[in-house]
Chain A
């Protein structure tokens, strides 16, 4: 069974204080690892897909990296508008009944950036 553990559960930063969020995973054949941002009262918003160890992707102040056991979401010089819950999910190679590869989500890291 695929598993995803995110840490920390909550993180408070001052504006400009860089940090990293962790996503540890176990999966039977990684098809993809996803990062999402979720604002209160909204559905998750796609950020990145990573496919193989060593891969990195960047978007504005965010950079996602991937190893064989974990992924990091690095936030450089965060701003208050980066405050949100960040979700990690893995899609394994096990085809589920119904013919789909269903991602397994972590519980998320709630990030608050103070001005």
Chain B
């Protein structure tokens, strides 16, 4: 199954600034998924990123706030723009694993906005 390297693992940022999160996969994958996990809440899908096309955003998430890049089949970035304290959360990237093994996740980025 694929292995995902995600960084940074955590960051504390000032409101109004932006943070870019990177995910590197050790194999080529068609789709990469970006999730947000707020304390006590379930994983919420932000967007699906396909290589060579615009990311598909879920309801409540917009490209201006969460721009995504997918320059090749092993790499993607998620930027959290113009941050506010409400953006404090864990952000996760994910790819579909081999059949029967669900989805593989990165180790997560714990973001705190002050």
Contacts and interface: CB of A to CB of B under 8 A. Distances in A.
Given A43-B92, A97-B56, A100-B48, A87 B43 contact: yes
Counting chain B residues whose Cβ lies within 8 A of the other chain, the interface size class is: 20 to 34
Binding site secondary structure of chain A: strand
Contacts, number: 62
A104 B103 CA distance: 12
Given A46-B97, A100-B48, A105-B42, A34 B56 contact: no
Among all A-B residue pairs, the 9 with the closest Cβ atoms:
A43-B105, A98-B56, A98-B48, A105-B42, A34-B102, A105-B43, A107-B42, A46-B102, A43-B108
Interface of A: 4, 32, 34, 36, 41-46, 49, 87, 89, 96-100, 102-108
Interface of B: 1, 4, 6, 9, 31, 33, 40-43, 45, 48, 50, 56, 92, 94, 96-97, 100-108, 110
